[in-house]
Amino acid sequence: MNPTRDTPLRIGTRSSPLALAQAEMAKVALVTAHGWEEAAVLLVPMLSSGDKVQDRPLAEIGGKALWTKELERALLNREIDIAVHSMKDVETVRSAAFRIAAMLPRADVRDRLIGAESIAALPEGARVGTSSPRRTAQLKALRPDIVTDSIRGNVATRLSKVANGEFDATLLAAAGLDRLGQSGIGAAIDTGEMLPAASQGAIGIDCLADRSEIAALLAPVNHQSTFDCVVAERAFLEALGGTCHSPVAAQAVWEKDALSLKGEILREDGSERQAGAIACQPGDGAAPARLARQLLDAASPELRALFEG
């Protein structure tokens, strides 16, 4: 395939401001890598089911698939050639029809606290808006007095809910804020205090597995070290099992000639946390699985049940 103004490469994306910003990053990377004119790549915005339903936690209405299924359907129907996702939103187990063929360089993996300078600085009994089981459990592990409640909507909506006093604070991904030009907002939480969600800060580019010509176009923009780290984190998630209700965090980083993978699982109320780390090589799914088994074996029956059903 040789994209041109008349036959452009079509990028499917959610229509939220953050998703559009991320799709634009993918477009710029492809145009730069191949020397194409800008008109050779076309953004195709779509409204996802997750964007349509804003009054309930994601885990209650279908999980991560709500962010991706419209884009996957468009890929299957050849309405688009590739789709751009926040890797954090991509289901761990997917149909073999799809392939994440490339990932852009990873951004800041940390969460940012909006409304206070630190978790310790939150007032007694502070009401924090979050729909993330991971963030809820981690907050309660650190501050059992904190009250959490569901908050949905795009970044601007969530910020406004804190500004108008509906919540004392909220947590947002630093990467998303940075990509929206709001890097000065909020206090970054060190990963030693709150380990991030698996794949946080990574942008994936999806295509049909049988379209090798598309995968070849994506190869030059793939950031291999990001790809290796995210694959290890996703292997850890897959080995754990669980659902969107299961509080889990993971982060892989390169240390010398191996990946260092940290993972943790928690009870929803933060009363129990099991954490560990393991070294592994890229593409080694056995090591992340061993870490998952280690944490599950150390967990109470109540915590284990969140992942093993």
Domains assigned to the chain:
9-104+202-222 (3.40.190.10), 111-189 (3.40.190.10), 234-308 (3.30.160.40)
Specify the 3-state DSSP secondary structure of 252. Answer: strand
CA–CA distance, 144 with 140 (Å, rounded to integer): 4
Residue 61: which pLDDT band, with cuts at 50, 70 and 90? very low
Higher pLDDT, 23 or 47: 23
Please report the pLDDT score of residue 245 as a whole number.
Answer: 83
Among residues 89, 111, 168, 228, the one annotated as catalytic is: 89
Mean pLDDT for the stretch of residues 228-247: 92
Average pLDDT over residues 7-12: 97
Average pLDDT over residues 96-118: 97
> Percent of the chain at pLDDT above 90?
86
Distance of CA 61 to the CA centre of its chain: 18
From 174, 165, 173, select the one nearest 126 (Cα to Cα): 165
How much is the average pLDDT of 222-235? 97
Q: Is the pLDDT of residue 17 over 50?
A: yes
Q: Strands 41-46 and 9-14: what pairing?
A: parallel
Whether the CB-CB separation of 85 and 71 falls below 8 Å is answered with yes
pLDDT in the model for residue 56: 52
Q: Is 165 left (phi over 0), alpha (psi -120 to 50) or beta?
A: left
What is the chain's mean pLDDT, rounded? Answer: 93
89 belongs to the catalytic site: yes
Position 190, amino acid: D
Percent residues over pLDDT 70 in the chain: 94
Look at residue 159 in the predicted model and tell me its pLDDT. Answer: 93
Torsion of CA 261, 263, 297, 59, to 10 degrees: -140
